[in-house]
Structure 1
Amino acid sequence: MSQTPRYIEIRDDILARVCDGTYPPGAILPPEPELAEAYGVSRPTLRRAIQLLTDAGYVEKRRRRGTVVRRRKVEQRFMDTLMSYGADVGAQGAIPATRVLQARAQGATAGVAEALGLEEGDTVMGLMRLRSMDGEPAVLLRTWVPAAAFPDLLSHDFERESLYDVFAESGLPVETVRRVLEAVLPEPVEAGLLGIDEGQPCFLFKSVGRARTGRAIEYSVALYRGDTNTFTVSLTTGD
């Protein structure tokens, strides 16, 4: 009988530890020298086992961090339905959380003014939020809202309240949203907040939400980590 190669045994052992939670999502595997010594093999043999796990998508190698156990991707379904991040993520068994990084009144930049149909310099309410999934940063979201439409917006606690719920309670629910998707590399500050390398691709969504009257009441720019998010779009044939 042929003997199972040692690197396959090591791969299977590490995978078992990933599956039973010994190495949970986001955990960093011990350094290669330490693992090689623990398994009693050379570093090339250990690297071969790790490469198999990398190729299969269970771990990934990150600069300055080491080999990290990958989180399962969450399917974002807001491309074809309006629903909150918490409801979408929570329905899939993950634990969502939001941290408000900034909330202030400010003058609209040219880009924000154009998106909202305002004059440059008009007052808008600006929010910057960092959304997490199971304790791991997943989305950096910047939002601007016309101050004239929602003068009391910043009195709400957006770590616990949904922006769209606040809109609805104020009598101006979002009825339609237009989203534009780009693939981008994060800026250094963005990468730091999301806990990723600057060279890791992200999804960038620019969204304009409108009330039933057609009035633009929200402009958002959301940066999603590419390694923890997928997006679903449902299409139907025309008549």
Structure 2
Amino acid sequence: MSQTPRYQEIRDDLLARMCDGTYPPGSLLPAEPELAEAYGVSRPTLRQAIQLLADAGYVEKRRRRGTVVRRRKVEQRFMDALMSYGADVEAQGAIPATRVLQARIQGASPEVAEALGIGEGDPVASLMRLRYLDEEPAVLLRTWVPTSVFPGLLGHDFEREGLYDVFAESGLPVETVRRVLEAALPDPVEAELLAIDEGQPCFLFKSVGRAKTGQAVEYSVALYRGDVNTFTVTLTTED
């Protein structure tokens, strides 16, 4: 009668510990020497077990951090409908949070000016926010809004208020959004803020929101971690 290989037994035991909360999503597994000693096996045997978990998507090996227990991906549905980040995340059982990293008035760069249809150097409210899923950074979001449209925008608390909610309350709700999706690698600062390696792929969205009049009221560049976000697009055939 064949006996289950020891590395598979270790794989099963580690997986059970992930399921019962001993090693919750986002946490680090103990270091290889510690686990090898605990299971009474060599490090090559332990590595076989870890590799099985990695191949199945349960863990991820990260340089300078160790082996991280992967969380389930959150399905971002803003490609189908205009909805707030918090509402979308909460509907899937995750806990959202936002930290404002920067809020200031500055002159529009050429890219921002072109996207918003304003003059280069015109004043815009610039927001940089870091969004979290269950206390883990997931999205780095930069937004620019013409001060001519919303002069008092930075008086709001965007760690508690949604940008589109503020727009709606101000009487100029966003009616349409055009988004462009690209694959991107984070720069060193972005990687540090998102708690990922510089070589880890991300989703980059560039969005322009317009009011009913067609006026561009916001330009946003959002960098989404690829390991905790997934996106859904629903298509229908034309008549």
Q: TM-score, normalised to structure 1's length?
A: 0.99
SS at match of 2:140: strand
SS at match of 1:97: strand
Q: Deviations over 1:68-121 (max 9, x none)?
A: 101110000000100000000000000000000000111000000000000000
Separation in 2, partners of 1:196, 1:40: 32
Where does 1:36-185 land on structure 2 (aligned, <5 Å)?
Answer: 36-185=36-185
Separation in 1, partners of 2:154, 2:9: 56
The residue identity in structure 1 corresponding to 2:13 is D
SS at match of 1:227: coil
The runs of 4+ residues in structure 1 deviating greater than 2 Å are none
- Taking only aligned residues, the RMSD between alpha carbons, in angstroms, comes to 0.5
Separation in 2, partners of 1:31, 1:165: 45
Deviation at 1:4, TM superposition (A): 1.1
Separation in 2, partners of 1:116, 1:26: 38
SS at match of 2:158: coil
Deviation at 1:140, TM superposition (A): 0.1
SS at match of 2:9: helix
SS at match of 2:121: coil
Q: TM-score, normalised to structure 2's length?
A: 0.99
Separation in 1, partners of 2:105, 2:234: 37
Deviation at 1:64, TM superposition (A): 0.6
Partner of 2:25: 25
Deviation at 1:224, TM superposition (A): 0.1
Separation in 2, partners of 1:226, 1:28: 19
Separation in 1, partners of 2:186, 2:75: 21
SS at match of 1:143: strand
Deviation at 1:38, TM superposition (A): 0.5
Separation in 2, partners of 1:144, 1:109: 10
Separation in 2, partners of 1:42, 1:158: 51
* Number of residues of Structure 1 aligned to a counterpart in Structure 2: 239
SS at match of 1:158: coil
The residue identity in structure 2 corresponding to 1:124 is V
Deviation at 1:166, TM superposition (A): 0.4
SS at match of 2:94: coil
Separation in 2, partners of 1:148, 1:182: 30
The residue identity in structure 1 corresponding to 2:38 is A
Separation in 2, partners of 1:30, 1:138: 24
Partner of 2:223: 223
Percent of matched pairs sharing the same residue: 84
The residue identity in structure 2 corresponding to 1:231 is F
Task: In structure 2, list runs of 5 or more residues that go unmatched.
Answer: none
Separation in 1, partners of 2:226, 2:23: 22
SS at match of 1:190: helix
The residue identity in structure 2 corresponding to 1:114 is E
The residue identity in structure 1 corresponding to 2:127 is L
Deviation at 1:3, TM superposition (A): 1.3
The residue identity in structure 1 corresponding to 2:219 is Y
The residue identity in structure 2 corresponding to 1:42 is S
SS at match of 1:37: helix
Partner of 1:13: 13
Where does 1:174-213 land on structure 2 (aligned, <5 Å)?
Answer: 174-213=174-213
Task: In structure 1, list runs of 5 or more residues that go unmatched.
Answer: none
The residue identity in structure 2 corresponding to 1:158 is F
Deviation at 1:2, TM superposition (A): 1.6
Separation in 1, partners of 2:4, 2:119: 70
